[in-house]
Structure formats: structure tokens, C-alpha cells
Amino acid sequence: MAATLLSLLHPNFSSEKVYRKPVAVLINAQKMRVQYALKQGQNRLSHQLPSGLNMEVIEQKSSGNKDPDETNSENPPLVFVHGSYHAAWCWAEHWLPFFSGFGYDCYAVSLLGQGDSDAPAGSVAGSLQTHAGDIADFIHKNLGLPPVLLGHSFGGLIIQYYIASIKSEQLLEKGKLFPNLTGAVLVCSVPPSGNSGLVWRYLFSKPVAAFKVTRSLAAKAFQTSLSLCKETFFSPTMEDDLVLRYQELMKESSTMPLFDLRKLNSSLPVPSVPKSSIEVLVLGAKNDFIVDAEGLDETGRFYGVTPICVEGVAHDMMLDCSWEKGAKAILSWLNGLKN
């Protein structure tokens, strides 16, 4: 019963038992049939993980500084982590060009089994631990400065695990597997306790919405229904042709579930950490159909910060028709990191 309920809002998991083959053995799964067409200034990289599997990274280096009031101090690189049914392309559409234009080197990863990344053997792509470890490996081998991690939806939960892992290493004086961060941005993120609270609130306070979310995500009806896709991820004013384009990309993005549900549940809530030196921005969307206001507040309380809720934007804040609103809120916060 619990597994069924938890699958209502983010069903991109598997509750099946996983029988692991050697990690470097690829599953015979199809990647995206048509690669996302990169924009000017973007490059598609292939980062080889210690397992031998390759992780897709879309890179867009700094293209200048549009803000005359900005100092010339070196900006931290930005690393973007997507959520369920998405991949690196979701950041490449708007936010990579935006932030690179303000002097930030940007890197968007596709988690294993998503986008054009390799799919590991087994029935699921990984766990909070393995996905966070893959991001840490990329940072360790490729970035010279502590980055800012930005995660959307379940990507935000992975980043929360990453932060907890940094603090655990520091407390236990363990080897440095998780490089330090300059900051973290949690965009419409699943809260530290996971989806259980969200699910119960939807079932008892918004049963119609609970049914729609179940049909859209658990039954993957968003892949075939334009209206459900728009209501789940985007604002009502989003143009239908754009929704159709993103709907097709989301359909192609996930070759396997991100998590095993039972193993995920055993990892939650995300371990609490002492007062962290890592600056955290908790950013939500007023019209979010998936993560409600209480879920946003829970994440803010966990990190001792006041969340920012952006008006007139839906769950897919980085793709929505008013994507600039969230980007500008993050840019303002990034500028404050230098003061």
C-alpha cells in the first residue's frame, strides 16, 4: 500500500528487487532516438564513470558578463541535475544560455539510464547514493572550483543527499569522495522526507488532483495527453506546440526508472546535518502541480532558510513560458554569494 501511494507523485522508480550484474555491463536499452539539438555555444560531453559507464553532460561555457555592476571575480561553475522523466536537455533549452551569458560555466548532467547516458545493468538506474556519487565523480575530475549544484524535483533530493554526504565525511574525517560546494539551489524539490507527506495531503485534501497526478505520472498518461502534460508540468498559458515538443523529449528521456522505491525509502529522510557552510536556496513555484507549499516549507525548515516561491510559474520552472522569473531569482542569489 505504501509503495503504491508513494508512486503517485513521482513514479519513476521501481519497487522490484534488483539483481545486480557487474556494474560495467550495459543493459540493452535504447537511448534517445533523436538527440536534443544543441544551441550555439553548447557541447555534448561523455564523462566516463569509475564503473566504465558514460554519463552525458551538456556544457556551455561563460560567454561574457551582461551585468555592468558585476565584479570581475571568478564565478563558481554551475552543475544542473534533472528530475524524473527529464535529462540534461531540460536545462540546455533556456537556463544554460542565460547563466553562461552572465559569466558562469554551466554543466547539465543526464543521470544514468536517462537521456544519452548509458543504462546500467539491472531494473533501475541507481540510488540516491550512486547518483550523488556520479555527480561527485564528475565534479572531482572536471571542475577546478567548488560548484553550485542546482537540482529540480528528484534532482533536488539527490543534491540534498550530496550535501549530507559532505558533512558526514567532515564529521568522520573520512576520505574526500564528495567535493565541496559553493552552494546549492533546490528547484521545486522533493522534500527531505520524500513523497509520503505530499501523497497523503493530495489524497485527503485534493482528491481530484491526486487522481490526475496518478494518471499523469504513475500511468505515464502525460506522455500521450497534451492537457495532462500541460497541467502537470507547465502553466496554462504555455503554447501547445512547445508542450508537444517537451512531451516528446520527456517520453524519450527515461530508459529506466531512477530509483528502487524500497531502497529509496530506507534512505529517507535525508540525514540531517549540522549548520552547514554551504549556502542553500530553496526555490518553489506558486503553480506547482506536484510539490505543494507545505513540501516547499519543509525543505526550507530543514536548511534553516526562507523559501522563495515564484509567482506565475509551474513545476518545470526551467522550461515554462515564464522561465526567466526563476532564472532571475537564482541569479540574484548567486550575486549575493560574492558579498
Say how many C-beta atoms besides its own lie within 10 A of residue 210's C-beta: 20
pLDDT per position in the chain (339 positions), as tens?
333 334 444 445 443 333 333 344 444 455 787 789 999 999 999 999 999 999 999 999 998 655 544 444 689 999 999 999 999 999 999 999 999 999 999 999 999 999 999 999 988 999 999 999 999 999 999 999 999 999 999 999 999 999 999 988 766 656 678 999 999 999 999 999 987 666 556 655 666 555 565 554 554 657 888 988 999 999 999 999 999 999 999 999 988 989 887 778 777 899 887 666 799 999 999 999 989 999 999 999 999 999 999 999 999 999 999 999 999 999 999 999 976
Structural domains of the chain, ranges and CATH numbers in brackets: 42-63+73-194+256-337 (3.40.50.1820)
Among left, alpha and beta (phi > 0; psi -120 to 50; other), residue 268 is: beta
The one-character DSSP state at 70 is -
Quickly list DSSP for 90-138.
HHHTTHHHHHHHTT--EEEE--TTBTTS--BSSSS-B-HHHHHHHHHHH
Work out the number of other CB atoms within 10 angstroms of the CB of residue 294: 12
Helix runs in the chain, H state only = 2-6, 89-92, 95-101, 128-142, 154-172, 196-205, 207-213, 226-233, 240-253, 261-266, 293-303, 323-337
- 330 three-state secondary structure: helix
Q: Residue 242: how many CB atoms within 10 A of its CB?
A: 15
